[in-house]
Structures are given as structure tokens and as C-alpha cells.
Chains A and B, each alone.
Chain A
Amino acid sequence: MSTLVLAIFIPFLAAAIIPFLYKYLKNIHVGWFAILVPTGLFIYLASLIPAISNGEVIVQTINWIPSYGINITAYLDGLSLTLALLISGVGALVILYSIYYLSSKEPIGTFYTYLMLFMGAMLGVVMSDNMLVLYVFWELTSISSFLLIAFWYQRKRSREGAKKSLIITVSGGISMLVGFIMVGSMSSTWSIREVIANVGSISDHSLFIPAMLLVLLGAFTKSAQFPFHIWLPDAMEAPTPVSAYLHSATMVKAGIYLVARFTPVFGGEAVWFWAVTGVGIFTLFWGSFNAVRQTDLKALLAYSTISQLGMIMSMFGMGSAALYLGYSTESVVYTGATFAALFHLVNHSTFKGALFMVVGVVDHSVGTRDIRRLGGLITLMPVTFTIATVGSMSMAGLPPFNGFLSKEMFFVSTLEITEAGFFGLGTWGIAIPIIAWVASIFTFVYSTVFVVKTFLGPYKEEKLEHPAHEPNPGMLISPIILGMLVITFFFMPNVVGENLIAPAMNGIFPTFASEGAELGTHIHAWHGFKPELFMTIGVILFGVFLYLTRKYWSGIYNLFPEKWSINTFYGFVLDQIEDKSTVITNKYMTRYLRDYMVYIFAFFILAIGGIFIFTEAYYFTLPENAPISNFEGLVILAMMVAGITILFAKSRLTAIVLNSILGFGISILFVLFRAPDLALTQTIIEAVTTVLFLVAYYFLPELDREDTTKKTKSVNLFISIGVGVVFTTVALGVQGNKAFDTISTFFENSYELAGGKNMVNAILGDFRAFDTMLEVVVLLIAGIGVYTIIRVRAKKESDQIEDK
């Protein structure tokens, strides 16, 4: 049994079970069941660490659509394992936290269902080797994120935040799909491993750069890189556990994962280097610059997340320079950036997860997250304060916390990249460490704001909803664990470095690994008096200075007025799209059924008739057809009379009856032409349809004379005659076309192949069961559609929760 594939699907299974547990086990918080899934997965994945750190990779395949090369291949290497451990580990902590955060009065059944859905999708993203399967899981993370952001759907802002994140990430996802298809068609495989193995054969292809840019677009939208970052602050309307889990620790890392995964494919190109590094470094700056001005703690953390994601992104960009040079002792230096990126990826999840949980604790305790109303909580919430300090100092890059290590490694990488003489780095390279350093100063400032404004200064109880108090201890367990990890990783960074990150490096630089390069870096806290140390000291000095003087320089934020922001632009574009498409739609959606019929029939005439004219494929000879017997002629005559009489029917009932004559006539013809299956089905359909007509008949207005103009009438006449002519020609020509060999001989063996003598049903149920299955699902959707349109509409008027 493929345990790894099973691991991806266990959360989905749990998502299916949780609603029932929620419904029938009222006394136990359903979160206690949900927590078992990530905990179990974490233990299972952790048991694979020794194998992975020895350089093994685990590959397991379940065939899905083998004829198109689409298979569910679970692929676990260092990179996947690192992320999978984060997903399950942080997932378990977040669920533990949420048990105390969400009261049982909320619809927590749906909450945990969505969360499990997300967890499975996210595991699927990081463990899929097949690009198309990866894409499916990728979009599923967007959808589950949408559902979770809109968890409090009564709030208008939640709904808008959810919509915004969905629109931006899904558009990115679709462009990524196009990129994947390009990569797939260039290398004629969907497997990422095979693409990487044969990368040399595709790098000169004309689609190579477009594919790269499209894939990057997907990564940038998902990881909230500038200018697509605008969805992340709005996504903070989600419950805090969701923000901690999806929007800081895991989902936003999917884009970074994608960049890391595709580095061996696209890395080494100047475009890739500058796109990833440039966008990353600017996002780093822009996020930290904007975080300082936020007054909502969650918004501050959102911008901080954007900034940190930009930092990780830029490091992956810088690391890709090594692939340009190919393997040599000098080029290995640049892989240090990638190592630092992976290390910071882990570190960021620990400290940012803790910080988000702290914000949730504060919010839960005093009922506000606004730093203008907060202050002085240190004495009342000492534990929370300690965790917040640990997290913030790690975020600011101070010792003795893990953020310090990765920040120093980041500085080292930015300095090293300036010395590279390619990609135009000689002239522009110097900008990278400068921007990085300035951004780090702002990072220091907002980290200080976070702690000082919340916990120090005067305590203003009159501005709070509730007096401050430490929350239920259960709510503190998860942030304490994460805070401990922040410190543990500082003192024992190489446990992570050697066991997880080093094998991940081998996956990102396979050409280096095959040359036997030692890609793991030994992490030191103390480097000696090197430039990076002076940069950190500079960050602290300038950071303290800027923090103290911030009311003098905060005027620069007014240089970017609201109406020039990307948010306004996004809103403008969305409004325009809606307005214009409404205008266009209203032009052809006339609310008259006959107009829609005209479109359908006109298209039919043009498409089908056009094919015959342009391809000259039409072939028809009278002598090859069987003669028409008297009885057949009689039936057809009756149908013709009925058909023409419908036009002159004065009442609807007459028309319905005449219409049934047409239907039953056809079933008689089916009998005559020895198609009992069709005849049977047609007869019953006719019976049921007639009943349906009669039921609907009650609601229809009186049939009155049409007051259409002569012109419309003649157009309609032309169209109906056209349809008749085209259809008759098709029917006559159907026998004559021998462009393809017949495939019916295959189905004649239905008894041997499918065990059934009825060929029609063997086709429906076995040979082409996929069609039947989807038709059944479509039928179900149509039924539900009719039901909701008619029955649910009435309830809506009493629904007042819409625009709170």
C-alpha cells in the first residue's frame, strides 16, 4: 500500500468524517478529533527523516489517468519533507490553539472540515511530482483558503477579503497551469523529476522564457509578492488560527516552494535571477516599509509576512546564480543563499506562527487589536508578553533567536552576490544589499512597535472591551512550543540544517549533488567581526533611532495617497470589468427564450453547414439507402402533420399534445429500426416530459398572438428552414462519410470484454463509463439547481445577515 499517497488523502478523508462527528458528538469539541490527523501525519513524516537525511527519496505512484501520463505520484525529498513537516506540525499546533480560540457556538464542524481540506491540498502540493496533479492541489488550497477567510461570512469585509484572495491567487494559478502545459509540451512529460533530468533539451526552446514567467506569476500571486501582495492584508479577516496557519506558515509558502522546486529547471537564467531576486527584494522592502504604519496588529503582521516572504524569495533568486556558473568550487558559494532561504522558511513559520497566536490571545482577551487602544499589558499578561518578545526579536534578527542566524546568512548572501560578475550584477548588484539592509531596519522598527505598543506604556482599560487577563492556559501551549523552537533552533541550528535542509539542497541543485558537492552549510552563530555583524549592529542602531523619531518622518506615507495605491487600482479594474461585462451581457441576454433559440440555431447552421461547405466532405447517393416502407412513411406523415399543426395551435394544451405525438412518433421509428433501447427510453421520457409540461403549464401565461414585426418573422422563418435543411442533409449524409474507420467492431465483443450482451449498456456502464458518470453528476447538479432556484429563493427575503 502506498502509505505516502495515503498520507495526502487522510486529511480529505477526515474532512468527510468531521461533519458527522460534529453532528453526533455534541459533548466533545470536534477539534480534538481533527488534531489527531496532523499529529499522526507529523509522527509518520518525522519517522522518515533518517531515510531522507541519508539522501534517499521516496516515490510512490497511483495511476490516475495513465493514458495522458497523469498519475498521482507522491515524491518525498528533503524539500517536500521540510514543508510537509511544517504543514503537519504547525497544523497540529494551530488546531490545538483553535480549540480554545473558537467557542463551540461557532460552526466549528465546517471550520475543521475546511482546515482538513486545506491540509490535504497543501500536502498534495508539496508532495506531487506530476505538474497537473500539483496544479489541482494548488487550486484546492486557494479554494479552502477562500472558505476559511469567509468563515465569518456575515461580515462584509470577510467576504470581500475572501473574494480578493481567490481572484488573485486563482488567476495566478491559471497562468501557472499554462506555464506547466508549456513545460509539459516542451519536455513531453508531466513529471517534474523527468523535466529536471532533461532540462538541457528544453532550455533553448522558444517557449522556455514564457513558461518560466507564467510559472513565476503563479508563485508570486500565491506568495503575496509585490504587486500581488494586496490580498494578504485583507485575508486577515479570517479567524486568527487560520491566519497563523494558512497566511503565514504554510499556504503562502507554496509559491516559494514552487520557485524552489523549479529552480533546477529555470535557475541559471538571467531572467529568472532578476525576476525572483528583484521582486523578492522589493517586496521585502515594501512590506516592511508599510508594516510600520499599520495600527491593526494583524495588518502589521500581514505586511511583515509579505516582507519576510519577499526575503525568502530573493534568497532563492540569489541562490539560482550558482546554476548559471555550473559546478565549481567558486559557484558553490552562491548556494549558501538557497540554504539560508530554506532555513529562514522554517524559522519564519515558528516565530510568525507564535506572533499570530499572540495577537489572537490579545484579541481574545481584551477584544481589540488596535495598537492605539492597547498598551501596558506586560503586567497583566506576562506569558503572552514573553512569547511576543521572543517572536519579535527573532523577526527583527536579534540573538539569541533563530531569526538572527538566517538574517545574518541573508546579509552574507547579498554581499556575496555583488561580487558576481554576470547578469549585470557588476553595476546593479550593489543595490541588493542596500535595499536588504534598509528593509531590515524597518523590520526592526515594526517588530519594536509590535511589542512596545502592545505591552509597554500606559494601560488604557477604558478603551478596551474587556479587562486584560491571561487566557485559558490551553491557548498558550501552542505559542509557547513555537517560542521554544525559536530558541532551540538558535542553539541547535544544525539539527535542522543537516537533517532536512541539506537533503533539500541536493534536490534543488541536482547537478551539484551528482558532482559530489557538499551543499550543507554548517551554521554558526558567531562569524567573527565580519560585515554582516556590522550590518546587524547598524540595523539595531538605526532601528532604535527611527523608532524614536518616527513621528517626524511618518509624513512620507502621505506621499503615496490612497487613490494611487494598488488596492484602488485593483478595485477600479474589478468595477470596470463588472460594468463592461454587464453592458455586453445585457445586449444579448434579452430574457426572451426565442432569442436564445435564434443564437443556438444560427450557430448550428453556421457551424455544421459551414463544415460541409468548407471541407467538401459531403457525400450522398440515393441508391445506397434502403427504401422507405409504407408504415414508416405513415408515421413520418403523422409527425409532419403534428409538427405543422403546432404552429397554428391556439392553446398551450393542444401544443403539448401535438408535441407528444412527435416524441412518440420518434419512438415508433426507433422500434421500426430495431433500436429497442432507444425506443424504450424515448417512450418513458415522453411520458415524464408531458407530465412536466402539464405541471409547469399551470404557471404559464395565456398563449397570445405574437406581436413581432414582419422582419423578425421572416428572419425566424429563414432560420427554421435553415435548421431543417442542414439537419436533413446531415441525416442523409451520415451514411456516406468514410473519413474514419468504424470502431463498432470493438464493441461487438461486449460479452467477452464486459460480460454483458447488451452492447448499448456495456458502452454506457463500462467502455465509456466515465461519460455516464459525469452525465449522472450533471443531472444531479441540474436537479439541485432547479430545486434551489424555485425553493430557496423564497427564504432569502427574510435573510438579514447579508450586509452586516
Chain B
Amino acid sequence: MKINNVILRTVAKLVFFIILTLAVYLFFAGHNSPGGGFSGGLVLASALVLLFIVFDIETIQKGLPIDFKLVAALGAFLSVGTGFGALVFGENFLTQAFDYFNVPFFGEIELTTVTIFEGGVALVVVGVVVTILLSISEDE
């Protein structure tokens, strides 16, 4: 049985980008307000899950040929890697550094290694959630 879900598909295409924007916003907002790598990653994952539900898996994988296991592995590598990065600068393992910079147009912004660490967290969350969902749903 094939359901005609044009409306759902059209809406999903739009909503996907809105959710994506929200994910990016949450990720960066996490430093000073609610959000962060974990929730940002989860939102991103749920956006992808929406696509997988609305369209079928094959279509999405053709459009987004990403191996989500690798995404998760890359994330873990980033998170653990920032820990070792601190060692290179003679600091203790996982010491995070931050400082404020004056950038034209944006004004003063803060750059910190936590962002890389949290980026790793987000990637792991996205990778793992999508991997688990795809594994279960593709099982024959």
C-alpha cells in the first residue's frame, strides 16, 4: 500500500531546514544559554530521522551518502583528541582553553576549545542515533 503523502513530504522538506537551523543555533547557544553539543546533536539527528521517515531510506542515502558510523567515530576522535591536544601545550589532559577576540563586523567573540569538544559530542550523538535507527529498521 502506497500512501500519497505529498503534503507531508513538502512540509518535511521545509521543516528539515528549520530544524537544522535550530540545531546549529542550539549548538552554539549552549555556551551561555540552554543548548549545547548533546541537545544540538540530538536535534540534528531528529531532523535526519524525520527525513528517513517521510521519504524512504534508499532515497535519503542516495542524496546524503554519509556513513554515520564514521560520523560517530570522527566525533569520538574529536572529543578524545581535544583531551590530548591539551597535553601538547603542556596542560593537563582535557584542559579547555578560551579567550576573547575582536573580530571586525562581529565585535568581540569568544573562541574556546570546548566548541571542538562539544562538536565531537554532537557528531557522536548524530552518528549513533542514526546508525541505531537505520540498523534496526533495515533488519530483514
Contact = CB atoms under 8 A, between A and B. Distances in A.
A758 interface: yes
B39 A786 contact: no
Nearest to B30: A761
A647 interface: no
A696 B118 CA distance: 30
A566 to B, nearest CB: 42
A786 B96 contact: no
Looking at chain A's contact residues, is the secondary structure mostly helix, strand, loop, or mixed?
helix
B31 A786 contact: no
A699 B139 contact: yes
A114 B80 CA distance: 22
B69 A783 contact: yes
A227 to B, nearest CB: 41
Contact of A770 (B94, B121, B129): B94
A758 B36 contact: yes
Interface in A729-781: 754-758, 760-761, 764-766, 769-770, 772-773, 776-777, 779-780
B114 A766 contact: yes
Contact of A783 (B31, B32, B72, B117): B72
B114 A754 contact: yes
A685 B41 CA distance: 11
Contacts of B98: 754-756
Contact of B69 (A692, A757, A760, A787): A787
Contacts of A516: none
Given A769-B94, A790-B136, A680 B34 contact: yes
A762 B36 CA distance: 10
A520 to B, nearest CB: 39
What size tier do the contact residues of chain A reach? 35 or more
B96 A688 contact: no
A692 B128 CA distance: 12
Interface in A779-802: 779-780, 782-784, 786-787, 790-791
Contacts of B75: 776, 780
A756 B29 CA distance: 10
Nearest to B134: A787
Nearest to A755: B98
Given A680-B34, A680-B39, A684-B46, A784 B69 contact: yes
A691 B39 contact: no
A677 B110 CA distance: 21
A678 to B, nearest CB: 9
Given A688-B42, A688-B46, A783 B132 contact: yes
Given A680-B26, A681-B42, A780-B75, A758 B131 contact: no
Given A780-B76, A787-B69, A757 B49 contact: no
**Which of A754, A761, A779 lies at the interface centre, i.e. has the most chain B CB atoms within 10 A of its CB?**
A761
A459 B21 CA distance: 79
A684 B43 CA distance: 7
A754 B93 contact: no
Contact of B133 (A695, A757, A779, A791): A695
A772 B121 contact: yes
B19 to A, nearest CB: 10
Contacts of B80: 773, 777
A561 interface: no
Contacts of B36: 677, 758, 760-761, 764-765
Given A695-B133, A765-B118, A786-B136, A758 B31 contact: yes
A687 interface: yes
Contact of B129 (A676, A688, A755, A769): A688
Contacts of A777: 76, 79-80
Contacts, number: 146
A744 B31 CA distance: 18
Interface in B116-131: 117-118, 120-121, 124-125, 127-129, 131
Contacts of B18: none
A754 B38 contact: no
Interface in B46-87: 46, 49, 53, 69, 72-73, 75-76, 79-80, 83, 87
Nearest to B121: A776
Given A695-B133, A783-B132, A786-B135, A681 B39 contact: yes
Contacts of B35: 677, 680, 758, 761
Contacts of A764: 36-38
Nearest to B34: A676
Contacts of B83: 769-770, 773
A64 B93 contact: yes
Interface string B94-124: 1010110000000000101010011011001
Contacts of A685: 42
A783 B131 contact: yes
A786 B37 contact: no
A755 B72 CA distance: 27
A395 B137 CA distance: 64
Contacts of A782: 128
Contacts of B31: 755-758, 761
Top 5 nearest A-B pairs (CB, nearest first) are A783-B128, A755-B98, A757-B32, A676-B34, A684-B42
Given A688-B129, A783-B69, A786-B135, 13 more contacts: A63-B92, A684-B39, A695-B137, A754-B96, A755-B110, A756-B32, A758-B31, A765-B36, A773-B94, A776-B121, A786-B131, A790-B135, A791-B135
10 contacts: A677-B34, A680-B35, A681-B39, A684-B39, A755-B112, A757-B33, A758-B32, A776-B121, A779-B128, A782-B128
